[in-house]
């Protein structure tokens, strides 16, 4: 078959879009599209459906909210509608501040999870706004709660979009990517607006049709967003991807490629009980006495300390630690987290983790670099504490 088509002389690709092959046969060179790139075009279609469905769902929610605050009702007062709207906006602002303070550091390291979480929460908020007019006694409470949800969506969605834009800007062209992403979303929202002009007269005073269309658009939106998040392949380590890589390597010494590890990475929050890992903590959260400091330094010549405190694996980082040191510390913490039992001696397991890493980490690191992972930076959730400690000899 290849003889009939000709010999492949070259291939070319425009960014992550379609791929082309140059075939040579009988002294003639022919350019043909490579059919293996259908997935990229499919992802673009998925993105369009995601924004389009969200736009239509938002129209239905806005229409219900306006009806709830009194638009079209001659008995409703301007003051009551204004107070309700101000309470909605005020609680939303408060929710935005509290969420950014509480979860801001997680949005980089778990961008996929928070991106999908934002869309689920946004659809939940719109569903509450649609239902609110049918519960007039609780209308203000419902729309204020929906406002808090939407404020969280604004923080999580905007922050994760920025994180994913950094990932997509392979030529350091963040401004270009942001501008084109915004243009694409504007175009899709414009199409949604035109469809909304047709839908609004149909759904007004028809709650069954309103809810039916909302659930249809919501299902399309969430499915498209799930597929879009799943299609993202990030070559930098966060806790989930590094844990997947290490567990596979410990099992059969196989190094996963970035697409393989990303495909296994969970995109929904998991509620199973695991030993949490805290990175970049204060020294007192690892050791609380000179004796414990000596225990932490035993068999350890690395610029970090590990310990177990209050059911968590805690890592204290020195100021001279490199990216490779951070990755090793995280690998060690993952191993320790998986091996801890209620009856095990914590310091004995810490000492054992140093021995395990001395044996496996360098081969693991070489394999990871050869597999195409980006080792210049990480998305590990390090806090800002950096500690210098005295060794036993000094």
Domains, in order of start, for the chain: 2-37 (no CATH), 41-231 (1.20.1250), 239-370 (no CATH)
Cα Rg for the chain, rounded, in angstroms? 27
Cβ pair 121, 152 in contact under 8 A: yes
pLDDT at position 307:
93
* Angle in degrees, CA 116, 119, 124, rounded to 5: 130
Q: Which residues pair with 38 in a beta bridge?
A: none
* Number of other CB atoms surrounding residue 167 within 10 Å: 17
Q: Per-residue pLDDT tens for 180-197?
A: 888 888 888 888 888 888
| Strand pairing report for 28-34 and 19-25 | antiparallel
Query: Residue 311 carries which DSSP code?
Result: T
Residues 6+ apart with CB under 8 A from 231: 39, 43, 46
Alpha-carbon distance of 99 to 281, in angstroms, equals 21
- pTM recorded for the entire structure: 0.75
List all residues 6 or more positions away from 235 whose beta carbon is below 8 Å from its beta carbon. 258, 372, 373, 374
117 SS3 class:
helix
pLDDT at 393: 45
Mean pLDDT of each 10-residue bin along the chain, 394 residues long: 60 61 70 59 52 57 53 53 72 87 86 92 90 84 89 90 82 84 84 83 82 88 91 92 95 95 91 85 87 88 92 91 95 93 86 94 96 92 86 51
Question: Which pLDDT belongs to residue 140?
Answer: 82
pLDDT tens digits, residue range 317-352? 988 899 999 999 999 999 999 998 877 789 999 999
């Amino acid at each position: 078959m290849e003889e009939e088509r000709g010999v492949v002389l070259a291939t070319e690709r425009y960014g992550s879009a379609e791929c082309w092959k140059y075939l040579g046969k009988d002294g003639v060179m022919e350019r043909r599209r490579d059919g293996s790139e259908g997935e990229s075009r499919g992802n673009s279609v998925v993105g369009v459906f995601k924004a389009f469905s969200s736009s239509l769902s938002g129209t239905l929610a806005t229409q219900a909210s306006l009806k709830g605050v009194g638009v079209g009702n001659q008995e409703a007062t301007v003051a009551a509608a204004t107070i309700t709207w101000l309470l909605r906006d005020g609680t939303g602002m408060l929710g935005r501040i509290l969420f950014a303070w509480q979860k801001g550091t997680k949005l980089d390291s778990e961008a996929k999870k928070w991106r999908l979480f934002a869309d689920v929460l946004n659809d939940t908020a719109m569903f509450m706004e649609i239902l609110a007019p049918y519960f007039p006694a609780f209308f203000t409470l419902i729309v204020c709660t929906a406002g808090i949800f939407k404020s969280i969506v604004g923080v999580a969605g905007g922050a994760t979009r920025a994180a994913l834009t950094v990932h997509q800007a392979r030529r350091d062209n963040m401004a270009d990517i942001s501008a084109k992403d915004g243009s694409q979303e504007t175009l899709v929202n414009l199409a949604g607006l035109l469809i909304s002009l047709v839908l609004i007269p149909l759904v007004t005073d028809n709650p069954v049709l309103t809810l039916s269309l909302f659930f249809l658009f919501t299902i399309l939106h969430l499915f498209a967003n799930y597929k879009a998040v799943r299609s993202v392949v990030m070559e930098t380590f966060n806790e989930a991807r590094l844990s997947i890589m290490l567990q596979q390597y410990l099992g059969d010494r196989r190094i996963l490629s970035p697409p393989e590890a990303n495909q296994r990475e969970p995109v929904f929050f998991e509620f199973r009980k695991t030993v949490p890992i805290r990175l970049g903590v204060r020294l007192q959260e690892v050791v609380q006495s000179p004796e414990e400091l000596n225990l932490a330094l035993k068999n350890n010549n690395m610029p970090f300390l590990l310990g177990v405190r209050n059911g968590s694996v805690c890592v204290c980082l020195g100021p001279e630690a490199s990216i490779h040191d951070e990755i090793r510390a995280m690998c060690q913490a993952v191993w320790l987290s998986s091996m801890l039992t209620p009856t095990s001696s914590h310091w004995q397991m810490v000492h054992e983790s140093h021995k395990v890493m001395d044996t496996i980490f360098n081969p693991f690191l070489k394999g990871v670099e050869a597999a195409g992972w980006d080792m210049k930076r990480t998305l590990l959730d390090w806090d800002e504490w950096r500690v210098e400690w005295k060794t036993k000899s000094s």
